[in-house]
């Protein structure tokens, strides 16, 4: 008896292909009866395949239309994930607004203690350059943001420009900014950021070095801004700059309660209707048991996760066998959760959890 083989067509930019489509992943998937096939983006999607699943990280109206046309001809195919859901993460305000949708979660921990979560205070400034010449500029009525703040481009589309962020110590630090900017209050967090990878029901939490704490007493001596390529990584020169910071040994940093992390991951997954994403969490050192979600990214660098090949292959298997699937209704353009029996319903399965 011949076992059915599945075909997953992937449409990824070259950089993502090189990092994600490793021989180790391709071979492991193949051993499970899953063939990973590159989609030729120069040709219409409807002329390729057929694929049991389309895995992608492409954007734009043309690609969205291609996916819709493909699903009309192949109604049983699965798309991971739908552009409408992914687009929410391209705006740093709508991205974190989703956190408010899951604040009703039960956050009682197993040891009897409690923990809370949310997001830092933030506001959109559409003309940030004007803040540089106005010493009394207000970030937003009722927010009471205090320096230092992190200035992030409003658009988060994965481009190099969208990753250009500033740690701003005074109004002068806004002088080079021209485009709409999210101004987010900087929260001392022990120099550690927790990166949480979500692959369907699988949750992996790791800790990484981040911006070290800032002594409030030294703020008067700091002016302008400090540039860094990503909020969790200083440049090599800045890492060695002891005028501002000293780095923390990651071994000293306690992991957040996994029950809380899993609750957030599950809540985000259901609210955003996404399978593949990660989110960054920091611990507010002033509160201790208060955790803040500061960023959410679609289809992150999973190859950095140890053993990512088995995690992704298990996910592919579950998707292809309808345990982790979402169907697209071409008439109403809505997504529905599908349970292990292929029927629409709520996600009631437990999460596979890992931390490091």
- Domain spans of the chain, in order of start: 6-80, 92-308
Annotated binding residues for ATP, written as ranges, equal 92, 152, 184-195, 210
pLDDT tens, the chain, 356 aa long: 457 899 999 999 999 999 999 999 999 999 999 999 999 999 999 999 899 999 999 989 999 999 999 999 999 999 999 999 999 999 998 899 999 888 655 555 544 567 889 999 998 888 887 776 665 555 554 557 888 899 999 988 777 777 788 888 888 888 878 888 999 999 999 889 999 999 999 999 999 988 888 887 776 667 777 776 433 344 334 444 444 334 446 777 889 999 999 999 999 998 999 999 999 999 999 887 899 999 999 999 999 988 999 999 999 999 998 766 444 333 333 333 333 333 333 343 334 555 56
The pLDDT assigned to 186 comes to: 92
Strands 192-199 and 290-298, bridge-based pairing:
unpaired
User: Binding-site residues for 1D-myo-inositol 1,3,4-trisphosphate, please?
Assistant: 16, 163, 195, 297, 301
Pairing verdict, β 149-153 and 334-337: unpaired
- pLDDT at position 343: 37
Looking at the domain 6-80, which fold is it? Rossmann fold (3.40.50)
Report d(CA 352, CA 261) in Å as an integer: 12
Characterise 10 by phi-psi region: left (phi > 0), alpha (psi -120 to 50), beta (else). beta
Q: How far apart are CA 335 and CA 82, in angstroms?
A: 8
For residue 103, what pLDDT is reported? Answer: 60
Distance between CA atoms of residues 294 and 76, nearest Å: 36
**String of DSSP letters for 186-236:** ----TTEEEEEEEETTEEEEEEEE-PPP--GGGGGG--SEEEESBTTB--H
Predicted confidence at residue 339, as pLDDT, reads 32
The CA-atom distances, in angstroms, between 70 and each of 44, 51, 65, 214, 333 are 9, 10, 9, 52, 13
Give dist(CA 349, CA 327) in Å, integer: 18
- Known binding residues for Mg(2+): 280, 295, 297
Instruction: Give me the pLDDT at residue 115, please.
Output: 83
Say what the pLDDT of residue 212 is: 82
Binding region? 16, 57, 92, 152, 163, 184-195, 210, 280, 295, 297, 301
Fold of 92-308: D-amino Acid Aminotransferase; Chain A, domain 1 (3.30.470)
- How far apart (Å, rounded) are the C-alpha atoms in residues 209 and 150? 17
Alpha-carbon distances, residue 300 vs 231, 241, 257, 319 (angstroms): 15, 29, 23, 19
**Alpha-carbon dihedral angle through residues 171, 176, 180, 186, given to the nearest 10 degrees:** -50
């Amino acid at each position: 008896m011949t076992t059915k083989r599945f075909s997953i067509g992937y449409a990824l930019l070259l950089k993502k292909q090189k990092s994600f489509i490793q021989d180790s992943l391709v071979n492991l998937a193949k051993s499970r009866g899953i063939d990973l096939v590159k989609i030729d983006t120069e040709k219409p999607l409807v002329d390729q395949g057929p694929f049991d699943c389309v895995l992608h990280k492409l954007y734009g109206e043309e690609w969205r239309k291609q996916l819709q046309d493909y699903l009309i001809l192949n109604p049983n195919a699965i798309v991971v994930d739908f552009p409408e859901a992914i687009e929410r993460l391209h705006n740093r305000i709508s991205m974190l607004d989703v956190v408010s949708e899951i604040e009703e979660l039960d956050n009682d921990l197993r040891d009897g203690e409690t923990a809370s979560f949310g997001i830092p205070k933030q506001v959109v400034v559409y003309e940030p350059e004007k803040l540089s010449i106005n010493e009394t500029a207000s970030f937003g009525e009722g927010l009471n943001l205090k320096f230092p703040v992190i200035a992030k481009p409003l658009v988060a589309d994965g481009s190099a420009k969208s990753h250009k962020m500033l740690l701003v110590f005074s109004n002068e630090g806004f002088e080079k900014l021209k485009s709409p900017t999210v101004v987010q209050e900087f929260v001392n967090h022990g120099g550690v950021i927790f990166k949480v990878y979500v692959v369907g029901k699988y949750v992996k939490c790791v800790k990484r070095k981040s911006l070290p704490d800032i002594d409030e007493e030294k703020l008067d001596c700091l002016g302008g801004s400090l540039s860094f390529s990503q909020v969790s990584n200083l440049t090599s020169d800045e890492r060695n700059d002891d005028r501002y910071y000293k780095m923390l040994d990651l071994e000293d940093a306690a992991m957040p309660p996994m029950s809380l992390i899993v609750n957030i991951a599950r809540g985000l997954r259901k609210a955003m209707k996404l399978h593949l994403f990660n989110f960054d969490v920091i611990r507010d050192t002033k509160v201790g048991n208060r955790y803040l979600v500061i960023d959410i990214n679609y289809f992150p660098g999973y190859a950095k996760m140890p053993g990512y090949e088995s995690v992704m292959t298990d996910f592919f298997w579950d998707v292809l066998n309808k345990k982790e699937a979402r169907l697209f209704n071409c008439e109403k353009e809505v997504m529905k959760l599908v349970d292990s029996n292929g029927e629409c319903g709520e996600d009631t399965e437990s999460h596979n959890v890992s931390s490091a």
